[in-house]
Structure formats: C-alpha cells, structure tokens
Amino acid sequence: MPSTTTLGVCYLIVAVAAAVLWHSAESYHVDKYSLLMPNVRPKKMDLYLCTPIRIDPNKSYFIVTFEPKAYGHTSHHMLLYGCSEPGSSEPVWNCGEMDSSSNDQNSYMHSNPCKSGSNILYAWALDAPTLKLPNGVGFKVGLGTQIKYLVLQVHYHRMFKEGETDNSGIFLHYTEKQLEKQAGVYLLATDGIIPPNSFENLETSCPLLETGKVIHPFAYRVHTHELGKVVAGYRVKTSSNGVQKWDLLGKRDPLTPQMFYPIEKNLTVKNGDLLAARCTMESRRDTITRIGPTSNDEMCNFYVMYWVEGTEPLEQQLCVSEGSPRYYWENDPLLNNIPDEEASIL
C-alpha cells in the first residue's frame, strides 16, 4: 500500500494492487485500488459515513470497473463521489443529515461528502454485482480534471454491536491509458410526499442545455426505498411538428438488485432534448411518507450513465423536481404525448 499521505488519506498511485489485464479488441493494462471503510463502527441507525483518498495530482487515470465489497444486510447503499475538495480532512466523517441530538463524544464530525466540485461516479445497493464499463470508456480523474479526490459514502441502516466493525467499499479497476470516451453520470430525482394508503407518481423532467455536447447513455440504475413499485426513465425528443417521442431508457422494479443495467437502445441525447423519470409508489402506511435520507423516508432516483467522445462530460449532473403534489408530467407545459400507462407497469 502507498505510504505517502495528505490530509490523512492516501494517494491513488499505480503500485497499489495486483495488475489485471483484460483481453479485448483494444486491451490495456488495468490496476486495482481498494477504497474501503477503515473498520468503522456505526453507533446509530441510518448513519452516513464518508472516507476519502487523494488522487496523484501529476497523473490522470480512467476508472473502468467498479467492484463492490458490501452486503445488503450491512450497507443500505454506497455512493462514490469525485470531489475537487473533500468535505473533511478527517479519515472518516458523518456525511448524512445533521443530528444535533447526538451527545456521543465518540461520534463522527459532520460535513458534506465534497466541499467543492461534487460528482457522482457510481452507486450501489441491494447486493448489486460488479459494474464493468464498455471497452474504451472510463471515468477520468486526476490531472486535467476537477476530480482530485474520491470519497466513498456508505449508508448504514443499523447500529453495530460492541466489537463489530465494517470495511465495506469498492475495488476500483483503473488504467493510465488515455481513453477517448469519458464516462459521466446524470441523476434525475424528486422531492415530494406520498399520501397514506395510496398510489402516487413522483416525476421529474430535465432539459439538456449544453451546446455542442452529445451524450451516449449506456446504463441506468433505479433507486427507491420500500414503497417503490416501478421506476422508468426516458429520452424525450420533440419533432418538427411539436409532438414528442418518448424513448424508454430503462424500467425496473426498484426492489430487485439496484445495479446499473444496460440500456438496450443505441440512442443519443443532444442539446434541447429532455430526460424524464417516474417512480410509481404504493403506500400502505397510515401516515405521510416524505422524500428523505432515512430508511423510513423514501427516495426517487433514476441514474443515467453515459459516455461522451472528444469533449468533457456534462457540467450539470443533477436535476431535482418538487415532486408530488407540486409537480406532475401532466401539468408541465413542456411535455406532451406522455406514456402514462406504460411508465407505471412492468
């Protein structure tokens, strides 16, 4: 393991693990780095913890595979952030909601995952398997990018017993070969509420407004908590006569493994096109359920993983609607020809 440290974290350098060589049409040398929690012990439910690594600032790397080391009975989900600056100089910190009621003198300090330049590179939940990017595609980090640190966030949904610790995380497979196709992630999400004993649709739509950029979506991931029934995402393109065509990117039951699944259609998203997503929820609870960070709350997320060629990934990486009851597709003047029934059935 590397011995050089800065801000209590390690440089990501080449001599970190056994090399792996992938044989493909365009083979390149691949190394592996272990980004793991340093044997933490969550002392409360729904605790979000972050740990960082600093990337060697003199080199650029392309991450080509994400191999999770986590289990659903321990970790609710994990996110990997690329940051210009990490949220803290500590080796581990609380990066979830502020809990002012905690008086535990051994509790972790609180901060966001990133202090500046936040990018989501990868997400995992429900025992999802390894994600390997298409040949020639990678997430560029380090020299020539704003991503100077990687920050692992793990959401722990239970308290650990005395003496019990965890080192969940991600094995990052990367290459120093300069790849022409850079990967990125765009997240569609909603705010909102779900009324008691009801079906409800949480919806969002987001225009792509970056001139000259064309993205090629190749994978999608859905995420809700236990009330999710169906999550669907679309590319929406407006014809010359104003009628919109909704092309399905992906649709799944969110309670199946929450991995990135391949997008079967070979399509692009260009300036002026829209991305849209719907989460169909069913609540049998007697109280309102709100969008929020805990396992008793809900979430509505649709991730689009894409590549671009000869340019940088999108500057905008997140689009959030107000959700129900304030936002619905049917009330959006920019939308028409909505696939209302199709979006809520598998």
Give the closest residue to 10 by CA, choosing from 61, 56, 54, 63.
54
| Residue 338 confidence (pLDDT) | 98
Do residues 46 and 96 make contact, with C-beta atoms less than 8 angstroms apart? Answer: yes
CA atoms within a 13 Å half-sphere pointing along the CA-CB vector of 272:
7
Query: In the predicted model, what is the mean pLDDT of the chain?
Result: 86
**Last residue of a domain, which of 179, 194, 221?**
179
Catalytic, 223? Answer yes
| Residue 96 confidence (pLDDT) | 79
Q: Is residue 328 part of a domain?
A: yes
Same domain (yes/no): 174, 253: no
Confidence of residue 101 (pLDDT cuts 50, 70, 90): very low
Catalytic, 157? Answer no
Catalytic, 153? Answer yes
* pLDDT of 17 strictly over 60: no
- Provide mean pLDDT across the span 341-345: 96
DSSP 341: T
Tell me the C-alpha distance between 255 and 16, whole Å: 36
| Residue 72 confidence (pLDDT) | 59
Residue set of the binding site: 76-77, 155, 223, 225, 299
Same domain (yes/no): 111, 258: no
Across 77-81, 98-102, 198-202, 333-337, least confident range = 98-102
Across 29-38, 127-136, 267-276, least confident range = 127-136
Same domain (yes/no): 84, 135: yes
- Provide mean pLDDT across the span 134-138: 93
Same domain (yes/no): 120, 225: no
Same domain (yes/no): 69, 34: yes
Residue set of the binding site for Cu(2+): 76-77, 155, 223, 225, 299
* pLDDT of 31 strictly over 90: yes
Confidence of residue 104 (pLDDT cuts 50, 70, 90): very low
Catalytic, 110? Answer no
Q: What percent of the chain clears pLDDT 90, i.e. is strictly above it?
A: 64
Greatest distance between any 2 Cα atoms in the chain = 66
Give the closest residue to 115 by CA, choosing from 140, 91, 81.
81
Who contacts 228 (Cβ-Cβ below 8 Å, separation ≥6)? 222, 253, 254, 255, 279, 280, 281, 298, 300
- Provide mean pLDDT across the span 111-138: 88
pTM, rounded to two decimals:
0.81
Give the closest residue to 220 by CA, choosing from 299, 155, 306.
306
139 class by beta-carbon count within 10 Å (0-12 exposed, 13-18 middle, 19+ buried): buried
Q: Give the alpha-carbon dihedral of 33, 39, 44, 48, to 10 degrees.
A: -20
Where residue 61 sits, what CATH number does that domain have? 2.60.120.310
* pLDDT of 73 strictly over 90: no
| Residue 124 confidence (pLDDT) | 85
Q: What percent of the chain clears pLDDT 70, i.e. is strictly above it?
A: 88
Q: Among 37, 76, 173, 182, which one carries the catalytic annotation? A: 76
Q: Among 37, 77, 173, 244, which one carries the catalytic annotation? A: 77
* pLDDT of 9 strictly over 60: no
Q: Is residue 26 part of a domain?
A: yes
Catalytic, 216? Answer no
- Provide mean pLDDT across the span 316-335: 95
**Last residue of a domain, which of 164, 179, 194?**
179
Domain span at 254: 186-344
User: Residue 298: what residue type?
Assistant: E
* pLDDT of 103 strictly over 50: no
Who contacts 200 (Cβ-Cβ below 8 Å, separation ≥6)? 194, 280, 281, 283, 324
Same domain (yes/no): 190, 174: no
Tell me the C-alpha distance between 170 and 157, whole Å: 18
Tell me the C-alpha distance between 179 and 193, whole Å: 43
Q: Is residue 102 part of a domain?
A: no
| Residue 293 confidence (pLDDT) | 79
Same domain (yes/no): 12, 159: yes
| Residue 105 confidence (pLDDT) | 41
Q: Among 37, 78, 173, 225, which one carries the catalytic annotation? A: 225
Q: Is residue 160 part of a domain?
A: yes
Where residue 210 sits, what CATH number does that domain have? 2.60.120.230
| Residue 156 confidence (pLDDT) | 86
Same domain (yes/no): 136, 228: no
* pLDDT of 25 strictly over 50: no
Structurally, how many domains does the chain consist of?
2
Residues 63-101, buried b or exposed e (16+ Cβ, 10 A)? bbbbebbbeeeebbbbbbbbbebbbbebbbbbbbeeeee
Same domain (yes/no): 43, 134: yes
Do residues 79 and 151 make contact, with C-beta atoms less than 8 angstroms apart? Answer: no
- Provide mean pLDDT across the span 128-150: 92
Same domain (yes/no): 131, 224: no
Same domain (yes/no): 161, 190: no
Q: Among 223, 244, 259, 281, which one carries the catalytic annotation? A: 223
Confidence of residue 294 (pLDDT cuts 50, 70, 90): confident
Q: Is residue 44 part of a domain?
A: yes
Same domain (yes/no): 26, 152: yes
Q: Among 37, 155, 281, 305, which one carries the catalytic annotation? A: 155
**Last residue of a domain, which of 135, 154, 179?**
179
Whole-number Cα distances in Å, 291 to 44, 125, 230: 20, 18, 16
User: Could you tell me the two tokens for 150?
Assistant: 């990687």
Q: Is residue 291 part of a domain?
A: yes
Q: Among 37, 259, 281, 299, which one carries the catalytic annotation? A: 299
Q: Among 153, 182, 244, 258, which one carries the catalytic annotation? A: 153
* pLDDT of 15 strictly over 70: no
In the block, residue with structure tokens 């989900």 = 77
- Provide mean pLDDT across the span 282-286: 96
